[in-house]
């Protein structure tokens, strides 16, 4: 019997009979989660990159301001957006130890703790970095030694802040597309690439010569990220039929424009092309072109999180549809 | 130890929705909040029409992902195996809603709780509900096996699953006797015997959540999925028709 002539439809209640897309974290108020996660990637990426640039005296001012912007993105955008999403925001303190021991099992709770610790260490580090950047302390003084120590501490918690949302999502067996260990790595490395793009913008304003260094790092990161995204999608494609549906939805479904235009073209190809062009011509890209690349890259960051959240599809409930 | 569980006989369920109504009345559920659900798949393959009905509710998993992910410990597991929610602790992050592989949790929003007659005064049912079983907007809810009834019944020396007063409302209401409630840890309980004798099965055992809600029927129970491949692919195509068009043909060919 030709299956395409077979009629089958759902009656009474279609809930979880066929694969359903998750809506809680992307539709309606869920948009706030998406925005918070984007600022998380941008903020942590920018801060991590700023830490590396802070190691060189020539880039001290750029590293300082990049760190400040990264910190602001987490403290002023990410956390308040997460808070605004909560049904009972004034109960936020319940996620913190000692009011809750949920950090032992909950990635959400761990993430909140990581973020707060990161913000504390990073605030101290940025004060020390500011002292060095604006000549209040010498680069080889004890202040810089303390700065190194706080860079390490803040850097570790920044990485954890960056990856926890990937772990939180990959924990969900209900959504096979997310249920992979690659997700935190994708979020971390894409965040670093975003940070490299943003620090070029900071460099344009401060006038320090960070662009050449950032561009060469961007080239490598974009190649790694492109390969990682391909690996992620191929892995999901063979993981389960529901994950395969998510992949198809992203690549050829009604979210294809987000993937191809947002993630691939604007997020990867355009910044990579501008970066490669400056490599072959031997000249740095013009300020206008750099700003264009940064904007494209940032759109890519928004698109990546949107696409991943939007194609999260639950595996159906019934044995009859166990093919999924 | 006691572990409360439920066995649902799919062959007996006649899709009357009495369990859904009983739960609504018992817990004064808001308009668009439903703890137990009845889902049905109707297949018409030209020569054979079949309707499969599945009453679903929180599986009260032994290894509950919703409890693990809850950042405030609002979701917790009782000693009797019931997974409960402390609405006063929940801050509405909805992580549990997403993490539940059975999608049995509901976030109570203004949209889901607009009042039974929006724009008009509250009904007597709603007013009573506010006093007897208040629901907090901005928190998550789910079936709790009527734990209040169980606790009150046990305090009176009654036996849940046997004495009506100590048994979940849906089980009491089911006129086809499709629902059975009892202690899974007691090998001689009614539920343990049903599971043993009629090959009880759980939904998605591969998740490793160890649910406390078992199903028995004469088509699937204890055996591999015997649903014809046409039915599986039929539902696949149904899904594809609503999700994405371009690959529908490709996947259809694969299953031909």
CA terminus-to-terminus distance, chain A? 22
B132 and B64 share a domain?
A: yes
Phi, psi of B207 (to 5 degrees): -75, -20
| Mean pLDDT (chain B, rounded) | 84
User: The domain containing residue B235 runs over which residues?
Assistant: 226-256
Element (H, E) at B50: strand B49-56
Chain B partners within 8 Å of A320 (Cβ) = 41, 52, 220, 225, 227, 231-232, 235
Instruction: Kindly state whether B176 is in contact with chain A, defined as any CB-CB distance less than 8 angstroms.
Output: no
B84, pLDDT greater than 80: yes
pLDDT-derived band at A220, boundaries 50, 70, 90: very high
Tell me whether the omega of the peptide bond preceding residue A98 falls within 30 degrees of 0, making it cis.
Answer: yes
What pLDDT is stored for residue B44 in this prediction? 62
Scanning every residue of chain B, which has its alpha carbon at the shortest distance from the alpha carbon of A29?
B109
Give the integer Cα–Cα distance in Å for B235 and B41: 9
Q: Does one domain contain both B191 and B256?
A: no
pTM of the model: 0.87
- Is the pLDDT higher at B214 or at A135? B214
Task: Convert A263-290 to b/e letters by CB count within 10 Å (16 or more is b).
Answer: bbbbbbbbbbebbeebeeeeeebeeeeb
* Beta-bridge partner residues of B50: B43
| Structure confidence at residue A77 (pLDDT) | 97
Give CA A268 to chain center in angstroms: 14
In chain A, residues with a C-beta closer than 8 Å to the C-beta of B46 are 1, 5-7
- Average pLDDT of span A218-241: 94
pLDDT, mean of residues B69-78: 96
Helix axes A270-281, A211-239, angle to 10 degrees: 140
| pLDDT above 60 for B230 | no
Give the pLDDT band of residue A260 (cuts 50, 70, 90): very high
pLDDT higher at A12 or B67: B67
Helix, strand, coil % in chain A, rounded to nearest 5: 75, 5, 25
Nearest to A263 by CA among A253, A250, A275, A273: A250
Instruction: Report domain extents, chain A.
Output: 20-318
pLDDT at B6 over 80: yes
Are the Cβ atoms of B94 and A108 closer than 8 angstroms? no
Quote the CA–CA distance of A77 and A306 in Å, as a whole number. Answer: 17
Distance CA A168, CA A108 (A): 6
Which is nearest to A198 in space by CA: A305, A294, A73, A302? A294
CB spacing of B72 vs A320 below 8 angstroms: no
Residue B95's nearest CA partner among B112, B71, B63 is: B71
Domain-embedded: residue B221? no
pLDDT band at A272, cuts 50/70/90? very high
Quick one: B152 and B254 in the same domain? Answer: no
- Checking if the pLDDT of B7 tops 70, the result is yes
DSSP of A61-84: HHHHHHHHHHHHIIIIIIHHHHHH
Are residues A46 and A195 in contact, defined by beta-carbon separation less than 8 angstroms? yes
For residue range A185-205, list pLDDT tens digits in order: 999 999 999 999 999 999 999
Report whether pLDDT(B220) > 50.
no
Using alpha carbons, list the distances in angstroms from residue A97 to A105, A197, A222: 13, 36, 38
Q: What is the mean pLDDT of residues A24-53?
A: 96
Work out the burial of residue B184: count CB atoms within 10 Å of its CB; fewer than 13 is exposed, 13-18 middle, 19 or more buried. Answer: buried
Pairing of strands B213-216, A313-314: unpaired
The enclosing domain of B149 has a CATH number of 3.30.70.20
- Nearest alpha-carbon partner for B108 in B143, B132, B138, B85: B138
**Confidence check: pLDDT of A232 > 90:** yes
**Residue contact A19–B232, C-beta within 8 A:** no
What count of Cα atoms within 13 Å lies in the side-chain half-sphere of residue B95?
A: 32
Give the Cα separation of A168 and A184 in Å (integer): 9
Q: Which residues of A touch B247 (CB under 8 A)?
A: 248, 252-253
Judge: B71–A106 Cβ closer than 8 Å, yes or no.
yes
Q: Tell me if chain A has a CB within 8 Å of the CB of B44.
A: yes
A299 in Cβ contact with A267 (< 8 Å)? yes
**CA count, 13 A, side-chain hemisphere, B137:** 10
pLDDT tens digits, one per residue of B93-111: 999 999 999 999 999 998 8
Question: Does residue A279 surpass a pLDDT of 90?
Answer: no
Q: Which CATH architecture has domain A20-318?
A: Up-down Bundle (1.20)
pLDDT band at B48 (very low <50, low <70, confident <90, very high): low
- The count of domains in chain B is 2
Q: Do the chains contact at B72 and A95, CB–CB below 8 Å? A: yes
Residue B241: which pLDDT band, with cuts at 50, 70 and 90?
very low
Spatial distance between the Cα atoms of A29 and A35, rounded to a whole number of angstroms = 11
% chain A with pLDDT above 90: 81
Residues B239 and B120 in one domain: no
Among B128, B163, B129, B135, smallest CA distance to B149 is for B163
Least confident of A111-115, A267-271, B83-87, B216-220: B216-220
H/E stretch holding B53 reads strand B49-56
Asked if the model's pLDDT at residue A104 lies above 90, the reply is yes
**pLDDT classification of A14: cutoffs 50, 70, 90:** low
- Residue B67: list chain A partners with CB under 8 A: 105
User: Tokens standing for A80?
Assistant: 């308040």
Query: DSSP code of A253?
Result: S
pLDDT of residue B50: 65
Instruction: Indicate the burial class of B131 (C-beta count within 10 angstroms; 0-12, 13-18, 19 or more).
Output: exposed
- Is the Cβ pair A106, B102 closer than 8 Å? no
Whether residues B169 and B253 fall in one domain = no
- Using the predicted structure, report yes or no on whether residue A319 has a pLDDT greater than 70: no
Contact between residue A312 and residue A22 where contact means Cβ atoms under 8 Å apart: yes
| CB contact (8 A) between residue A252 and residue B247 | yes
Q: What is the reported pLDDT for A135?
A: 86
Q: Is the ipTM of this complex over 0.85?
A: yes
| pLDDT above 70 (res A9) | no
Residue B247 has pLDDT above 70, yes or no: no
Calculate how close chain A gets to B182, using CA atoms only, in Å. 24
């Amino acid at each position: 019997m030709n299956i395409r002539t077979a009629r089958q439809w759902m009656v009474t209640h279609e809930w979880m009979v066929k694969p359903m897309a998750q809506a809680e974290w992307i539709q309606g108020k869920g948009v706030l989660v998406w925005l918070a996660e984007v600022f998380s990637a941008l903020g942590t990426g920018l801060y991590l990159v700023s830490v590396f640039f802070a190691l060189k005296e020539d880039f001290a001012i750029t590293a300082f301001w990049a760190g400040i912007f990264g910190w602001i993105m987490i403290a002023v955008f990410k956390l308040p957006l997460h808070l605004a999403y909560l049904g009972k925001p004034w109960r936020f303190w319940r996620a913190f130890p000692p009011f809750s021991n949920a950090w032992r099992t909950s990635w959400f709770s761990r993430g909140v703790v990581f973020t707060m610790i990161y913000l504390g260490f990073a605030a101290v580090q940025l004060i020390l970095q500011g002292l060095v950047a604006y000549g209040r302390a010498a680069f080889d003084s004890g202040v810089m030694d303390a700065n190194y120590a706080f860079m390490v501490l803040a850097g570790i918690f920044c990485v954890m802040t960056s990856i926890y949302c990937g772990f939180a999502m990959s924990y969900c067996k209900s959504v096979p597309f997310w249920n992979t260990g690659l997700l935190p790595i994708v979020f971390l490395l894409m965040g670093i690439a975003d940070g490299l793009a943003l620090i070029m913008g900071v460099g344009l304003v401060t006038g320090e010569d960070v662009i050449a260094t950032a561009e060469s790092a961007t080239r490598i990161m974009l190649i790694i990220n492109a390969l990682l995204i391909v690996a992620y999608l191929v892995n999901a494609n063979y993981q389960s039929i529901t994950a395969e549906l998510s992949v198809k939805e992203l690549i050829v479904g009604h979210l294809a424009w987000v993937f191809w235009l947002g993630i691939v073209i604007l997020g990867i190809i355009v910044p990579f092309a501008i970066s490669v062009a400056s490599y072959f011509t031997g000249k740095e890209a013009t300020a206008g072109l750099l700003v264009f690349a940064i904007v494209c890259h940032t759109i890519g960051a928004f698109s990546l999180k949107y696409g991943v959240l939007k194609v999260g599809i639950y595996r159906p409930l019934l044995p009859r549809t166990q093919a999924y | 130890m006691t572990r409360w569980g439920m066995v649902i006989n799919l062959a007996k369920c006649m899709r009357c929705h009495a369990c859904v109504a009983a739960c609504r009345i018992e817990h004064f559920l808001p308009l668009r909040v439903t703890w137990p659900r009845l889902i049905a798949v109707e297949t018409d393959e030209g020569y054979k029409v079949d309707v499969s009905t599945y009453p679903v509710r929180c599986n009260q998993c032994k290894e509950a992902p919703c409890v693990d992910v809850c950042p405030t410990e609002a979701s917790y597991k009782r000693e009797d195996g019931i997974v409960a929610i402390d609405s006063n602790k929940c801050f509405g992050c909805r992580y549990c809603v997403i993490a539940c592989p059975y999608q049995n949790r509901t976030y109570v929003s203004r949209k889901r709780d607009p009042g039974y007659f929006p724009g008009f005064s509250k009904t007597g049912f709603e007013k009573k509900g506010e006093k007897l079983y208040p629901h907090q907007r901005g928190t998550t809810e789910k079936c709790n096996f009527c734990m209040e009834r169980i606790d009150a019944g046990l305090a009176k020396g009654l036996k849940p699953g046997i004495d009506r007063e100590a048994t979940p409302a849906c089980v009491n209401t089911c006129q086809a006797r499709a629902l059975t409630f009892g202690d899974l840890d007691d090998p001689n309980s009614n539920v343990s015997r049903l599971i043993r004798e009629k090959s009880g099965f759980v939904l998605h055992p591969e998740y490793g959540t160890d649910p406390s809600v078992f199903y028995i029927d004469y088509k699937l129970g204890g055996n591999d999925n015997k649903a014809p491949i046409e039915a599986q692919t039929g539902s696949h195509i149904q899904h594809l028709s609503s999700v994405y068009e371009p690959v529908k043909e490709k996947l259809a060919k694969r299953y031909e």
